[in-house]
A and B are shown apart, each in its own frame.
Chain A
Amino acid sequence: MIPFITLVAQAVPILDANIDTDIIVPARFLLGTEKKGLGETAFYERRYDAAGHPHADFPLNQPRFGNAQILIAGENFGCGSSREQAVWALADLGLRCIIAPGFGEIFESNCAKNGILPLKLPATTVLRLAGDAEQGHAIAVDLGRCTVTGSDGIAVTFAIGDDRRMALLNGWDDVALISAKHGADIAAFERRQKDEKPWLWRSRDG
């Protein structure tokens, strides 16, 4: 996973509430078996008409947002289906950080597993940053200090769990990290559970 330490980038605002992961990647694009190449499908129905022509007014189709690496989103962004394709698609568009008043929980967790920082901020702050995005001003995110700074130069502090923060800062992969740090803990847990709850260990298990 690519570490996330600091980011100074332009942002693109898509502020509707309850943008679900079906809107981010419609289900008919989930038949592939790869993580790559999903950017084309992102927000498909909002980006393109029935004939496949782009809607000029949709933010992701506007050249002025072409270099955005931050998405400013609305309440409950990424609710609904657990499909990680939604995150892979946004990553494929070059997005590294999503700022919203709230997220669907599974989506939020999926972001962090892919080096995308999901940032929860009060709605008024999100709107102010969306204003910066509209004006083309860059936004600075510092995960080391846990601050976001818009065009007014005021650093707003954000909260994030230590575990998620360290994993993003270091680009740690969960599987490698857990195996290295907790291999013995897992084995001990399994021995205890086998003894206390033998019915959970089906016969073909070792």
Chain B
Amino acid sequence: MRRAKRGVMTATLYDKLWDAHVVARHADGSALLYIDRQLLHEVSSPQAFAGLREKGLLPRRPEAHLAVADHAVPTRDRARGIADPQARAQIDLLRANCAQFGIEYLPLDSLRQGIVHVIGPEQGFTLPGVTLVCGDSHTATHGAFGALAFGIGTSETECVLATQTLRQNRARTMRVRIDGDLAAGVTAKDTILTLIGTVGASGAVGYAIEYQGAVVRAMSMEARMTLCNMTIEAGARIGLVAPDETTFAYLHGRPMAPSGTLWDHAVRHWRSLASDPDAVFDREIVLDAGAIEPQVSWGTSPDQVVPVSGHVPAGDAGLDRAAIAYMGLAPGMPIAGLPIDWAFIGSCTNGRIEDLRAAARIVAGRTVAPNVRAIVVPGSGLVKQQAEAEGLGMIFRDAGFEWREPGCSLCVAMNNDRLGPGERCASTSNRNFEGRQGIGARTHLMSPAMAAAAAVTGRITDVRALL
């Protein structure tokens, strides 16, 4: 929050982003916020477009939106079209809605197609300092660029299409400082899982989190996106990292990023997007990076997580007991050594090039364990192309992985990628909810390197033994 300190007003990054987008202030502290950018996908947009049609409205700024199909798309045999008639109709409708309302749509056969939260940054549609929304809770991802980005519902998607604004309550602010160094084999995924385990699944409801500290500064954009992506699993809709040279280097030359003198102008402004040194946060958390181990979720909520050297809880609490039963575990058993049926590498959390590189480093020279089905689903066509150029696709295929087309796939199991009841998956996705990967499916969240280690050993394994 904005606070006077020794007579000087200080502001957090969140305050600065909020203040720069207030169109009108309301008496109860909420505000009408201007929304600079919206990403649209096939699942949360149809009823929003229908709403425009019913009311006889047009999008206020068609150029402020970018659409792509990701949730329901098949990840293999695309040349044969989409087998599921409902999925086909939903994707066709997105394309038709975009054509009717003049919104750019990245078609399924384009290299630029992929998961909304991968393609937004990739295209330079995501920029520091913007407000960016999408009918998807993992929109927090884009906060990695210092964008005020959050997930919304379909009614709000319609409101943004029609008015380019949203009524919002101001969040409280939380600083998560990550000091020290991450050990070899420990990643951004392990860091965010540790935080969620510490704060709890509802511990950050109502907050906007800003990630700071030496570890965050040293992170690539891919790692920062992983960190911000799962902020919602602690309850906060917004996760922020102040932009810096790493951010600018990532964005420079991207198709939708500014260029020439506009680029210089933008960067000058972006450099001001940081919390003031003595800014006051409503809550402070410090994580010691050196103490973080590779993490594995054992339960059905992302805060039910332990280090790979840890154990399933004793099951004294009712919630734990229910999760242990659903997951087919025994109270107190070690998490390492648990046999798996599937390994899934992909999603808006871990479907980027760096994630595939980390997994491929473990997979190289090894093969997928018998009885394990392992799939890699790149986050976008461009990620897939780059991975193939670097020889990663070959490494995965040679090891026995299926090398798929981009989409959300097994993270949401809306297409034909689905686990059977009771099947257990080492997954780089973001949610281990009941039934998330299929009815009765059992999901263990972990990093790409850990999922790769599980795939080649057939069980949950400490990746540090394979480095």
Contact = CB atoms under 8 A, between A and B. Distances in A.
A94 to B, nearest CB: 20
Interface in A162-205: 162-163, 174-176, 178-179, 181-182, 185-186, 189-190, 193, 197-200, 202, 204-205
A58 to B, nearest CB: 14
A31 B88 CA distance: 9
Interface residues of A, number: 57
Given A22-B435, A198-B265, A175 B43 contact: no
Nearest to A181: B24
Contact of B165 (A18, A186, A202): A186
Contacts, number: 181
A175 B32 CA distance: 12
B433 A80 contact: yes
Interface string B254-273: 00101000110110010000
Which interface residue of B34, B43, B130 has the most chain A CB atoms within 10 A? B43
A99 B163 CA distance: 31
B87 interface: yes
Contact of A45 (B23, B32, B61, B435): B435
Interface stretch (A105-113, A129-137, A140-148): A105-113
A76 B158 CA distance: 26
A193 B433 contact: no
Contact of A31 (B32, B90, B158): B90
A178 B167 contact: yes
A181 to B, nearest CB: 8
A187 B33 CA distance: 13
A189 to B, nearest CB: 5
A87 B154 CA distance: 11
A205 B63 contact: yes
B72 A31 contact: yes
B167 A163 contact: yes
B153 A182 contact: no
Contacts of A189: 23, 34
A32 to B, nearest CB: 7
B122 to A, nearest CB: 16
Nearest to A198: B262
A117 interface: no
A30 B57 CA distance: 25
B136 interface: yes
12 contacts: A18-B301, A20-B433, A27-B413, A27-B414, A76-B201, A80-B433, A81-B136, A162-B26, A174-B159, A186-B34, A190-B164, A199-B263
